[in-house]
Amino acid sequence: MKFNLLLLHLLLVCASSLSQNQIVMPITSVEIHQEGAMIEHASFIPVVKTNETIVVRGLASDLVLGSLSLALPKGTSIESLHFESKSRPTSRAVEINNIKDSIGILDLQRRMQESVLHTLNEEQVFLAANRSIGSTQEVLLVDDVIEMADFLRNRNQSLSLEILDVTLEIEDLDNQLAHLKARESALDMIHAEREGELTMKLKNSIMYKNVMAISVKYLSPSAHWVPEYEVNFSSDGIRFKRFASIAQTSGLTWNASPLTLVSGRPSGALIPRPFDDWPLTTDASSGGVSYSKTHRGTLANRQMDAYYDVEIQEDVSFVGKTRHRFELETSSVILGDGSPSRVEIDTFYLDGEIRYFAAPAINTEAYSTARIKDWSGKKLMEGKAQIIADNAYLGSVSLDLPVIGDTLVLSLGANPNVLCSRELSQKDSKASFLSRKKIVSTWVLAVENFQSDSISVDLVDAIPYAMSNDDDIDVVVEVSEGGRVDRLNHQVVFPLMLAPNERKDVSVTITVMYPRNHKLKGL
């Protein structure tokens, strides 16, 4: 009887497995957003029965079920859906199992060593508590005292060495465990050892003689992309080459064509995402030419950063930003292990002028900058830009976009052929009968062009200001012809035109008045 029941159960399992249609759908398209990706699979299935159970394997294990959408043949409806993340035998899964076994063995070894260390410490404490040499006999021979003293000394020495050996062994085991656990955590972030499996129970009202197309589309949150640029300055103009650094840890290898890049986040649900807050702030910059401390780019290392953090930053907001879309013309393979892939998007040109920023208080060499006015129509996004001028790699800068309508400024680094200087020519200190003390200082700023072409230069210097109104300090700044005082940024700016091998000198006079019984600091 038991044999018959077992046979019946096996027959039912076999019949159930035969009634299920298991398929692996290839990826047909991927829409990658800056945070998350919409993945679409498609395949053909036979529709020959009224009730059909289809098991779709090879999906992303981090599939967001609320984002799932299906395209079914006409006359086919869904009775039930079930999604499950299952393990699959991969090299990474084998490595994870090996790591877990190694962690278990090392943990056992560590506990054994801790037990040995505890025993040695107890013995050392016992010897320390019983180190006095004595006997029940009235007379203790000298040889006995020497023998007992030698024993205590040798045993304490050997105990110390054994404790040191065990302690070092425990530290080595801890280092091995930390390394293995870090590797395990890194592999756990990559879902290569798991795959998504979707079980669909379908009801068909129309039977087809041929196979019919079915597609599955869903959101995978473990993907992102960031823009990168190569900006090449030459006599022909400013050429921008746009790239995308794409990374994903879904465990699936994306080799679909086409790949689509979209800025922002995907909706991934039937209802629209609520708007994020859109706060506005300002900095101390005026409408004219000024150089704010917060927007001036700095040159980075000689190599472009190849890797970006895979972890999505929760505080990133895309509200108020234009939603751009890029259709990649060439097919690309994006691995599912989190390693970034650099894909070229397009190439375009922008018109701009080269202008120099000379700040002798910062550097004796003037910085060359490219000022681009008409940039808003090229789908520019904030990212890192490699700067190349006349086939010379200058470094990389962060491409921070200004407000639409403002000028985009890119730094090209210091130019040794445009030099500037700053010298104190005169400084007077006087006290008046009105209990006010006055200090007058005059600075001479100079810039010289050693190039063969005429250039435009902004000669800039800082000016002092009172920290608060309570300090009772008055600052008056006078500049020579052509200069402008920028009170908001606390700077003076001299827009200059220099012919080849021409030098120009300008002056800044700073007058500071304060109470004569106070001590002035900072000037």
pLDDT tens per residue, range 1-19: 544 544 544 444 444 444 5
Angstrom distance (rounded) from CA 203 to CA 469: 80
HSE on the CB side for 139, CA within 13 Å? 1
Rg (CA), the chain: 37
Reported as a single tens digit per residue, the pLDDT across 503-523 is 999 999 988 888 877 777 766
Reported as a single tens digit per residue, the pLDDT across 205-216 is 777 666 788 899
DSSP 406: B
Cβ atoms 71, 214 nearer than 8 A: yes
**% residues pLDDT > 70 (the chain):** 78
Q: In terms of pLDDT, which residue wins out, 447 or 292?
A: 447
258 cis-preceded (ω within 30 degrees of 0):
yes
Q: Which residues pair with 203 in a beta bridge?
A: 51, 77
Nearest to 69 by CA among 196, 197, 204, 214: 214
Residue 164's SS3 state is helix
Q: Is the pLDDT of residue 308 over 60?
A: no
What pLDDT sits at residue 189? 63
What pLDDT sits at residue 487? 85
Domain ranges in the chain are 18-29+39-90+192-216, 92-134+145-188, 356-523
Among 1.10.3470, 3.30.390, 1.20.120, 3.30.110, name the CATH number for the domain at 18-29+39-90+192-216. 3.30.110
How many CB atoms are located within 10 Å of the residue 165 CB? 14
Q: What average pLDDT does the chain have? A: 79
The pTM (predicted TM-score) of the whole model is 0.62
Give Dmax (Cα) for the chain: 122
Nearest to 347 by CA among 243, 236, 241: 241
Task: For the chain, give the number of residues.
Answer: 523
Reported as a single tens digit per residue, the pLDDT across 66-82 is 888 998 888 888 889 99
pLDDT band at 227 (very low <50, low <70, confident <90, very high): very high
End-to-end CA separation in angstroms for the chain: 104
The arithmetic mean of pLDDT across residues 15-27, rounded, is 68
b/e 388-416 (16+ beta carbons within 10 angstroms → b) = bbeeeebbbbebeeeeeeebbbbbbbbbe
Torsion angle of C-alpha atoms 386, 387, 388, 389, degrees rounded to 10: 180
The Cα-based distances of 352 to 77, 237, 375, 474 in angstroms read 58, 8, 9, 41
Q: In terms of pLDDT, which residue wins out, 472 or 260?
A: 260
Cβ atoms 498, 504 nearer than 8 A: yes
